[in-house]
Amino acid sequence: MVPIVARVRRRRRDGPGVWTLDLRSDEGAVRPAAPGQFNMLTVFGVGEVPISVSGDPGDGDRLLHTVRAVGPVSAALADLRPGSAVGVRGPFGIGWPVGAMAGRDILLVAGGLGLAPLRPALYRLLADRDRFGTLTLIYGARSPDDILFRREFQSWRRKPGLDVQVTVDHATDAWDAHVGVVTTLIPRATFDPSRATALVCGPEVMMRFAVNGLRNAGVDEAAIFLSMERNMKCAVGLCGHCQFGTVMICRDGPVFSYDRIGAMLGRKEL
């Protein structure tokens, strides 16, 4: 429960109001996080919030978190400059089941900031590319200006064995790619539904429609995984803020298979 002290080494703007912080610990190496896990970050004097790890799990002692300024604490985090101190607790939770997906076709379906928790899984999949079948990244944003990690998309498109599909809700005159909701790209993906696993992260309404699209394509509900990051507060299942039916999201998730939580998805309070 006691945070270690880390400092911001670098900060990079990755979208409108979105910043990625490169943190290094003052107290030795930070604990490595599995793809899909999160840390509790503290801005001293302001508060603490859960933020998913968004960096490469194999990238040494670097700890990357991508933050959108939407509240007092996240705004304070996004405004931190190099040298600023940050409290770090974690990592916490159950992440993406990357180790159990060998030999399967993989779809990563992300909406908006939901790409950040999926990025570590993408790094891991690319590092062991030969262990998996087809690999597809499907990403949706509100507009071309809202696309996250724009510079990395250029390198991802050049990766052999990775199909990258991007769509926006509202196009500009310069946009010459897909327009529409992210689910319109699922039928374009090449995969065998009988051996496919889908990792989905984004706004809950987007995840509900993505699940419907994946189910209609024949993907089994037990092979669809969602990251549910709502109302987390203590990170260890004690405060009860993130109770979701019979589970605590911080302790039992944030990643769940759809067959486990599908009946509860979309409910605001349980």
Domain check: are 121 and 51 in the same one?
Answer: no
Predicted structure pTM score: 0.94
Residue 243 in domain: no
- Per residue of the chain (270 residues), what is the pLDDT tens digit? 888 999 999 999 998 899 999 998 866 556 788 999 999 999 999 999 999 999 988 776 778 999 999 999 999 999 999 999 999 999 999 999 999 999 999 999 999 999 999 999 999 999 999 999 999 999 999 999 999 998 899 899 999 999 999 999 998 888 888 999 999 999 999 999 999 999 999 999 999 999 999 999 999 999 999 999 878 889 888 888 888 888 999 999 999 999 998 888 766 544
Give the pLDDT confidence score for residue 46 in this predicted structure: 96
Give the pLDDT confidence score for residue 32 in this predicted structure: 80
Domain check: are 134 and 217 in the same one?
Answer: yes
Give the pLDDT confidence score for residue 177 in this predicted structure: 87
Domain check: are 141 and 63 in the same one?
Answer: no
Give the pLDDT confidence score for residue 26 in this predicted structure: 67
Q: What is the largest CA-CA distance in the chain?
A: 51
72 in Cβ contact with 42 (< 8 Å) = no
Number of domains in the chain: 2
Domain check: are 108 and 212 in the same one?
Answer: yes
Domain check: are 82 and 112 in the same one?
Answer: no
Domain check: are 112 and 175 in the same one?
Answer: yes
Domain check: are 121 and 219 in the same one?
Answer: yes
Give the pLDDT confidence score for residue 266 in this predicted structure: 63
Give the pLDDT confidence score for residue 85 in this predicted structure: 95
The enclosing domain of 219 has a CATH number of 3.40.50.80
Residue 57 in domain: yes
Give the pLDDT confidence score for residue 206 in this predicted structure: 93
Domain check: are 88 and 102 in the same one?
Answer: no
Give the pLDDT confidence score for residue 60 in this predicted structure: 66
Element (H, E) at 38: strand 38-43
In which domain, by residue range, is 122 found? Answer: 98-227
Q: Among residues 37, 64, 92, which one ends one of the domains?
A: 92
CB atoms within 10 A of CB 198: 29
Domain check: are 213 and 104 in the same one?
Answer: yes
